[in-house]
Structure 1
Amino acid sequence: MAETPKAQQTRAKLLEAAQAEFSEYGLAGARVDRIAERSGVNKQRIYAYFGNKEALFAAVMNKVYAHMSEAVPIPVTEEGLRSYVGEVFDYHRQSDLVRLLAWEGLHYREQPIPDEKEREAYYVHKTDALGLALGVEDAGAAARILISLIGVASWPFIVPQQRRLMLGPGGEAESGWALLRASVVAHGDAVIDSALEGRAA
Structure 2
Amino acid sequence: MPRNPATTTRDALLAAAREEFAEHGIAGARVDRIAARAGVNKERIYGHFGNKEKLFDAVIKDALDEFAAVNTVLEDDPVAYVGEAFDRYREHPDLLRLLMWEALHHRSAALPDQSWRAERCGRKVRSLAARLGEEPSPDVGRAVLSLLGLAMMPLAMPQLAELLGAKMDTPESVAAMREHVMGFARAALEGRASASG
TM-score w.r.t. length of structure 1 = 0.89
Structure 2 portions without partners, runs of 5+: none
Mapping for residues 17-166 of structure 1, pairs under 5 Å: 17-72=16-71, 74-77=73-76, 80-95=77-92, 96-108=94-106, 112-166=110-164
Give how far 1:31 is off: 0.4
Residue 72 of structure 1 contacts residue 88 of structure 1 at CA under 8 Å; is this kept in 2?
no
Kept after mapping to 1: 8 A contact 2:72/2:80: no
1:179 to 170, 176, 179: 176
Separation of aligned partners in 1, 2:157 and 2:89? 12
CA distance in 1, matches of 2:78, 2:11: 32
C-alpha distance in structure 2 between counterparts of 1:180 and 1:70, whole Å: 22
Structure whose residues are more often helix by fraction: 1
C-alpha distance in 2, partners of 1:138/1:70? 23
Provide runs of 4+ in structure 1 moved above 3 Å. Answer: 109-112
Aligned-partner Cα distance in 1 for 2:108–2:195: 32
Aligned-residue offset at 1:179: 1.2
Contact kept, 8 Å, 1:148 with 1:191, in 2: the verdict is: no
Q: Structure 1 75/56 Cα, relative in aligned 2: closer, same or farther at 3 Å?
A: same
Q: Which amino acid aligns with 2:85?
A: V
Given residue 93 of structure 1, which amino acid in structure 2 is its aligned partner?
R
CA distance in structure 2 between the partners assigned to 1:54 and 1:72 by the alignment: 30
User: In the comparison of the two structures, how many residue pairs are matched?
Assistant: 194
- What is the CA distance between 1:110 and its match in structure 2? 6.8
**Secondary structure of residue in 1 paired with 2:69:** helix
Percent same amino acid among aligned pairs? 39
User: In 2, are the aligned partners of 1:26 and 1:100 still within 8 Å (CA)?
Assistant: yes
SS in 1 for 2:68: helix
Cα offset for 1:175? 1.2
Give unmatched runs, 5+ long, in structure 1.
Answer: none
8 Å contact kept, 1:85–1:149? yes
For 1:109 and 1:157, the matched residues in 2 are separated by: 25
Shift of residue 72 of structure 1? 3.8
Q: Kindly provide the amino acid, as one letter, of the partner of residue 181 in structure 2.
A: V
